[in-house]
Structure 1
Amino acid sequence: MKYGKIIMLIIVLFTLFGCASEPSQGETSAKTNGELRFAYSQQPASLDTHVNTNTATSDIMRHVYETLLTVDSDYNIQPMLADSWEQSEDGKTITFQLREGVLFHNGEEMLADDVVASMNRWKESAGSRSQFTDATFKAEDDYTVVLELPEQLSTALPALAHSGTGLAAIMPKEIIENASEDGVTEYIGTGPFQFEEWKQDQEIHLTKFADYNPRTEASDGSSGKKEALVDDIHFMFITDASTRIAGIQSGEYDIAESIPYDNVEQLDNDPDVDTMTYTASSLVIHFNKRQGLFTDVKAREAVAAALDIESILKAAFVDEEYYTLNHNFMFVDQLKQWPSDSGKEIYNQNDPEKAEQLLSEMGYDGEEIRIITSRDGDTSYNASVVLLDQLEKIGLNATLEVYDWPSLMSEREDETAYEIYVIGNTLVPEPTTTVFLRKDYAGWAEDPKLETLLKEFRGQASLEDAQDLFDDLQKWYWDYIPAIKVGENQAISATRSTVDNVQYQSGFILWNVSNSK
């Protein structure tokens, strides 16, 4: 297969000693030119990264918000809004020295009180609450923030540096104080682009922040120097794939994501379009474990027994070139640090007779199994259709309910609305932040044994010290089956040939990106 300017970004282990690399973003010119019109397949439900873990939210708002720490292309932790940090010998105190002269988009300087307000709110968010229980952030002076932990936490720094969903964004203190339960109402950060406008169901418009204060180190992954090389970014919500394809070829759009696999050759043959391939996510079947049939682990075992994994992945991702089978709930490229054989015999059984027997043993009596999905996500929708067929073949009364993307995100939070949903989950920095291990994530893994395992893992001095405990988590995963990770996939995006330096690391990177048209 021919790719124009392939950027093969394998999203790998997020640790202090990451094991793969991406091309450096390098030095860039400060000159700006024009705009980027990005044909994006989904509209986010919210732009508040503290309360929303949807990929669409982080893809857009990582250009507006920044974090204390971040990661380079090898996933080593690097400074961003913090200039430095120091951890006490007992691991319970981390002191951050902040950069001076960093301005928010409202013109006010970022100070320690803003960081403390942001972090104390973020640590109560769904993705962070379980890790930072009883932790406190305090301002020692205008440029010093101290994190006090009740006990050492192996996952603290990786969580603060994560550059994907659930971003630990720094916002002005007054924005935090005025936030409602639904989220902040103003989107003000310190990033190279600022929020301009959200036209519902049409676009989100970002503009260059003229007073942005970049770091001086060379750009590398999500770290180092960031520059806005275009004046405007328009994230345009184009749910129809054929419209995205036509638009990237006509020049209406400068970037288009979620390119159907069947269209890759068509774009490769267009001299005005370049394609890029990157590891995007894992495809996951989530069970509602609070209500309905799947509160019984035997029902979840029955689904695991029935699945023909290859058929589901092929329906979603077309060709084996674009998907990988993996029994481990961590990604293939993370297995060097998180190896485990637990569950190999349970994964991809393709044994309908065993599944029928398990359902018979539990006395299944024909209750409806609602699979909720959205056509806005082509791969998860196609996977859901094949899953529906496989469940019907073992005697389950399965139905498919289709929503638009924001409605699907809302429906999955309602424990009375469904039994199963299928969605892509992105790579996480370490095992305990895997979404289906969270008791507050839709599907709800509420198990005391899991909480004990997570506490022990996080209680180690570092991720290296926690490695030997991973197999216990992997074994629990296949014993309890909170969800089933079907496999992992490569995604395809496209750019006009005039667009240079688009990167992907836990999301699209559009700073240091120019457009010469």
Structure 2
Amino acid sequence: MKRKHFGFFILLVILSVGLIACNSDSPAVDNETDAAGANNNAGNNTEELGEAGGTINVAYLAQPGTLDPHTTTANATRDPAKLIFETLLALNENFEVTPMLAEDYEVSEDGKTITFELREGIKFHNGDEMTSEDVVASMTKWGETSFAQSNIGEHEWVAVDDHTVELHIEEASFIVLHILAEPGQFAAIMPAGVVESAEATGVSEYIGTGPFALENWRHDQYMHFVKFDDYQSREEPASGNAGAKEVLVDEVYYHFVPDESTRINGLLSGEYDFSHMLPYDGIPQLDADPSINVDIWPFGPQTLVFNKEGMFGDVNLRRAVNHALNKEDVLTAAFTNPEFYEAGPSLFMEDQVDWFTNAGEELYDTNDMDRAQEYLDAAGYDGEEVVILTSRDYPHHYNSAVATQQALENLGMNTKLDVYDWATLLDRRADKDAYDIFYTGFTVMATPHQYTFLDSRTEWPGWTNNPAFDELLDEIKLAQDQEEAKEIYEELQQELWEDLPVINVGKSLRVSAYGDHVKGYTDFMGPNFWNVTVE
């Protein structure tokens, strides 16, 4: 087994609203269910590629509800959808915004108008050429989502001519370019006709400009993608989700394989070329096979979410839980050993220098039962049952819940572990009367605004209600540069640990693996299967 443990590349998001004439030479929601992923081997892969052709068989843990990326932040949608769809802008390996379907873009001096010059000759999978009509229709549809509204606000897309569009926003924003390049719930460009026929649940035809076209979707079995012969790659070197995307294999199959052992055994037997999201206890089995490459990659915060509409609307009760938890115990229960987690108060990885801060560290891992008892008494807790919602479908969430239950029982709280399959948990967590706590994972984001639990204006389970969060998020949008934005974020992270809408117990790393015959594989917020060959 060849282990590849890739660190997080330095975050260099260049998003100043005063940026003008950003040409093509210029360089996120919780992810188990909702949001975008981490980066490991994100840049150019210089290993020697094999011959073109062949098929990649992917063992993937879950089937998506849709392939329309406008409608959800779920990884299960994002990962296969980025084979089909592309965006005006993309993030390179350093998280810099760079053009993709846009040839060029320019931000007006007041920051309220962004003009995009579109690449010409770009074909959709149905053979039609992409024009500004398609872009305006697609972006208008995407702009109606709560994700776009909360991050961009009121805005309008206007077609200037066949290959020029403008985005008009009411208020200049430091983060707007990044939101347009964000891989989670991404702003995919589709044919206008497909958009016009979309229902409330999303589009029914999955037609994009990406390197692969959807050939077939057999529900509960697989999705079959085929090489798009008319794909027009960019010429810049591949980097993250940006740059060249050379289509070197003929087909990609996403097989839905929820059972972890089957994903491992299928990889070892050669049935699958790539297996995603593997269990930590399966690594020794992979270690024994020299033909397997293992990727250990940063995922993001493991979070305990409080239902603020119930008893945990009292901040004293939330603080009691925070002081009662031994974060290392929870992380070890969930992720087995420090090779697979990173303790600390920050929502960001240490290499994300633009945002990483230890603000709030004095409240991170106190493990102080006396202080916990003081807060419990201040809340007037009188033996009420604490319902901990969880699922065995994600063992790390279940094990986190069990460790938390033990800590709360030690504090003298009355708890109940309420266990469901993950789909049912998603339904129940939207019911304000159904539970008090649940665990979920969030992927590492490139700006604070993609963490839905920070924004009181989003109806996300847990129902954060803190105007200070909202004001600080808005201040970051109006920042003049990254230094000012980080100073504001440090204040926001301190407020996070004071108010505790969630408890960030630490950041997890995740495991995927692929055979030695797969050459050129990279991952950037989900696996990339362009620029890849199979022998």
TM bin, normalised by shorter chain, reads over 0.9
Q: Name the CA shift for 1:366/1:106 in 2 (closer, same or farther; >3 Å).
A: farther
The corresponding residue for 1:315 is: 333
State yes or no: 1:111 paired with 2:134: no
Does the 8 Å contact 1:28/1:227 carry over to 2? no
2:519 pairs with 1:500: yes
Aligned equivalent of 1:82: 102
CA contact (8 A) 1:45 1:409 kept: no
Question: Counterpart in 2 of 1:239?
Answer: 258
Residue number in structure 2 paired with 1:139? 159
Going from structure 1 to structure 2, the CA distance change for 1:108 and 1:27 (only over 3 Å counts) comes to farther
1:328 to 341, 346, 350: 346
Of 150, 170, 174, the match for 1:130: 150
Paired with 1:256 and 1:298, the residues of 2 have a C-alpha distance of 43
Offset of residue 69 of structure 1:
0.6
Residue 418 (structure 2) aligns with:
401
Alpha-carbon offset, residue 432 of structure 1: 2.1
Looking at structure 2, the residues matched to 27 and 71 of structure 1 have their Cα atoms a distance apart, in angstroms, of 22
Query: What's the CA shift for 1:341?
Result: 4.1
Paired amino acid for 2:391: S
Residue by residue over 1:352-376, the C-alpha shift from the partner in whole angstroms, topping out at 9 and shown as x without a partner, is 3332332232222333322222322
Alpha carbons 2:134, 2:192 under 8 Å: kept: yes
- Find the aligned partners of 1:58 and 1:493 in 2 and give their Cα distance: 17
CA spacing shift, 1:486–1:468, aligned 2, 3 Å: same
Question: Are the aligned partners of 2:390 and 2:398 in contact in 1 as well (CA < 8 Å)?
Answer: yes
Query: How much has 1:90 moved relative to structure 2?
Result: 1.5
What is the distance in 1 between the residues matched to 2:80 and 2:424? 19
Instruction: Pick from 348, 352, 363 the counterpart of residue 365 of structure 2.
Output: 348
Segment drifting more, 46-55 vs 365-374? 365-374
Identify which of 317, 321, 324 aligns with 1:299.
Answer: 317
Cα separation, 2, equivalents of 1:464 and 1:170: 33
Contact 1:14–1:429, Cα closer than 8 Å, also in 2: no
Structure-2 change in CA distance of 1:100 and 1:273 (3 Å): same
Give the 3-state SS of the residue equivalent to 1:63 in structure 2. Answer: helix
Deviations 1:172-226 (A, max 9, x none): 2222222222222222211111223333333222222222111122212211111
Say if 1:113 and 1:139, in contact at 8 Å, map to a contact too: yes
Please give the secondary structure, in 2, of the residue aligned with 1:107. coil
Aligned residues of 2:59 and 2:276 also touching (Cα < 8 A): yes
Is residue 185 from structure 1 mapped to residue 204 from structure 2 by the alignment? Answer: yes
User: What is the distance in 2 between the residues matched to 1:211 and 1:409?
Assistant: 39
* Corresponding residue of 1:278: 297
Identity of aligned residues (%): 39
Aligned-partner Cα distance in 2 for 1:410–1:105: 35
Q: Would you say the 8 A contact 2:49–2:532 is kept in 1?
A: no
Alignment-derived partner of residue 435 in structure 1: 452
- Per the alignment, residue 262 of structure 1 pairs with 281
Q: Give the match for residue 77 of structure 2.
A: 57
Tell which deviates more after alignment, 382-391 or 27-36. Answer: 27-36
CA RMSD of aligned residues (A): 2.4
The residue matched to 2:423 in structure 1 has which SS?
A: helix
Go from structure 1 to structure 2 and tell me whether the alpha carbon gap of 1:185 and 1:367 turns closer, same or farther (over 3 Å shift): farther
> Per the alignment, do residues 20 and 323 of structure 1 end up closer, same or farther by CA in structure 2, a change over 3 Å counting?
closer
Q: Provide the TM-score with structure 1 as the length reference.
A: 0.93
Pair 1:230–1:340, CA change in 2 (3 A): closer
Residue 204 (structure 1) aligned with residue 223 (structure 2)? yes
Give yes or no for contact 1:30–1:229 (8 Å, CA) kept in 2: no
Aligned residue for 2:151, secondary structure, equals: coil
1:43 is matched with which residue?
63
Match of 2:6 in 1: 8
* 2:438 alignment partner, SS class: strand
Which among 472, 496, 499 is matched to residue 480 of structure 1?
499
User: 1:468, CA displacement in angstroms?
Assistant: 2.3
* Kept in 1: contact 2:49–2:520 (CA 8 A): no
1:489 to 508, 526, 529: 508
Distance in 1 between residues matched to 2:400 and 2:527, nearest whole Å: 24
Q: CA deviation at 1:12?
A: 4.6
SS of alignment partner, residue 379 of structure 1: helix
Paired residue secondary structure (2:387) = strand
Change (3 A) 1:20 1:249: closer
Residue 349 and residue 200 in structure 1: after superposition, are their counterparts in 2 closer, same or farther (change >3 A)?
Answer: farther
Summarize the Cα distance change of 1:468–1:158 in structure 2 as closer, same or farther, 3 Å threshold: same
Distance 1:496 1:254 in 2: 6
Letter in 1 for 2:102: A
**Structure 1 stretch displaced more, 457-466 or 122-131:** 457-466
Q: Which runs of 5+ in 1 are unaligned?
A: none
SS at match of 2:416: strand
> CA 1:114 to 1:9, structure 2 compared with 1: closer, same or farther past 3 Å?
farther
Deviation at 1:99, TM superposition (A): 0.6
Distance 1:92 1:465, change over 3 A: farther
Q: SS of 1:119's equivalent?
A: helix
Amino acid at match of 1:75: F
**Counterpart Cα distance in 2 of 1:131 and 1:168:** 13
Contact 2:93 2:240 in 1 (8 A): yes
Matched residue SS, 1:129: helix
In structure 2, list runs of 5 or more residues that go unmatched. 16-26, 28-38
8 A contact 2:49–2:533 mirrored in 1: no
3-state SS, counterpart of residue 77 of structure 2: helix
For residue 283 of structure 1, report the CA deviation from its aligned partner.
Answer: 0.9
- Match status 1:456 vs 2:475: yes
**Alpha-carbon deviation of 1:44?**
2.5
Deviation at 1:469, TM superposition (A): 1.3
The more displaced of 25-34 and 398-407 is 25-34
**1:15 alignment partner, SS class:** coil
Whether the 8 Å CA contact 1:110–1:172 is kept in 2: the answer is yes
Q: What is the alpha-carbon distance in structure 1 between the residues aligned to residue 441 and residue 384 of structure 2?
A: 27
C-alpha distance in 2, partners of 1:211/1:27?
26
Q: Secondary structure at the match of 1:86?
A: strand
Q: Within the alignment, does 1:98 sit opposite 2:107 as a pair? A: no
Contact 2:472 2:489 in 1 (8 A): no
- Cα distance in 1, alignment partners of residues 114 and 439 from structure 2: 38
Give the drift of 1:456. Answer: 1.5
In the superposition, relative to structure 1, how do residues 203 and 357 fare at CA in structure 2: closer, same or farther (>3 Å)? farther
- How many residues are treated as equivalent by the alignment? 511
**How far off its partner does 1:495 sit?**
0.6
Structure 2 letter corresponding to 1:364? Y
Q: Aligned in 2, Cα 1:410/1:208: closer, same or farther, shift over 3 Å? A: farther
Identify which range, 411-420 or 239-248, moves more after superposition. Answer: 411-420
Tell whether 2:422 aligns with 1:422: no
Residue identity in the other structure for 2:157: F
Helix, strand or coil for the counterpart of 1:146? strand
